Structure 1
Amino acid sequence: MTRRALYPAGSKRIADALKLSPGVLSGDHVFLTRVTGSGADGTMPAEPEPQFRQAFDKIGAVLAEAGLLFGSIVEMTSYHVSLRAHFDTFNAVRGDHVCEPYPAWTAVEVAGLRREGALVEIRVIASRLAG
């Protein structure tokens, strides 16, 4: 089975520096690196909703590199700082992007994330056979 790295526009330099791929197409599945809500310039919005929206925009960009849409997501794990404080906002933003059949989803509270100010990292597995 062949693997192919997925690099949305503007992501290769940072991905290479960290020695990771934003996404990997392997067989019929796409595996996304845990995504935060930082902007293209690297800044992290202070407010939760813009962070969450930017994170889903980044997920959409990686999926698009594989020719997929959000309906291709089969599993999602989200890692949250202050999960209970931001759950409703995150769930509303997530709800704008997922569709039936809804992906499996686990939300986990963590003490902190690598990116300063990040409130969430989202891990996604998508299938080219879904959607």
Structure 2
Amino acid sequence: MTGKQQRVVPEGTQAIYDHYHFAPAIRVGDMIWISGQVGIDENFVAGEDMEQQARFAFEAIRKTLAVAGAGLKDVVELMTFHTDLRGEMEDFTKIKDAFFPKDFPCWTALGVSQLAAPEYKVEIRVVAVVGSGA
């Protein structure tokens, strides 16, 4: 991989790229930056609760990393945005820990007043380094 930017647009996300004008991820060399992922399913329907939304978001991250040539083990940083940081942190952490059961990445959690749609409870962005989690 060269130092040039490579847009990563997984199958099923081209419409988002075209309509909202942002890449789901960008890879430069061994670094991957994934745009914030919200808790929606493949039909763009939000999960019913925090656990389901967190699971949907982490699955989208896993899929995007795979297309970019990496895996969850290569994640070095999580940044999460929560509309109810204190009220739903336990539910979120349970799902996060299922995806990252050991060798935890850095993590910053922020409480926010709103996300892109009123039903969204969490948005997750990550930075990964290909091959770093081997």
The TM-score, its normalising length taken from structure 1, stands at: 0.95
Give 3-state SS (helix, strand or coil) of 1:96's partner.
helix
Q: 1:12 aligns to what?
A: 14
Q: 1:74 aligns with which of 62, 73, 76?
A: 76
Aligned CA RMSD, in angstroms, stands at 1.1
Q: 1:44 aligns to what?
A: 46
Letter in 2 for 1:82: D
Asked if structure 1 preserves the Cα contact closer than 8 Å seen for 2:80 and 2:109, the reply is yes
Give 3-state SS (helix, strand or coil) of 2:76's partner.
strand
Give 3-state SS (helix, strand or coil) of 1:56's partner.
helix
* Identity in percent: 28
Consecutive unaligned residues of structure 1, counting only runs of 5 or more, are none
Q: 1:22 aligns with which of 9, 18, 24?
A: 24
The TM-score, its normalising length taken from structure 2, stands at: 0.93
Mean alpha-carbon deviation: is it higher for 2-11 or for 97-106?
A: 97-106
Asked if structure 2 preserves the Cα contact closer than 8 Å seen for 1:28 and 1:128, the reply is yes
Q: Does 1:112 align with 2:114?
A: yes
Q: 2:125 aligns to what?
A: 123
Letter in 2 for 1:32: I
Partner deviation per Cα, 1:24-51 (whole Å, 9 max, x = no partner): 1111100000110011111112211111
Mean alpha-carbon deviation: is it higher for 18-27 or for 92-101?
A: 92-101
Consecutive unaligned residues of structure 2, counting only runs of 5 or more, are none
Give 3-state SS (helix, strand or coil) of 2:99's partner.
coil
4+ aligned runs moved over 6 Å, structure 1: none
Q: 2:85 aligns to what?
A: 83
Letter in 2 for 1:66: A
Query: How many residue pairs get matched?
Result: 131
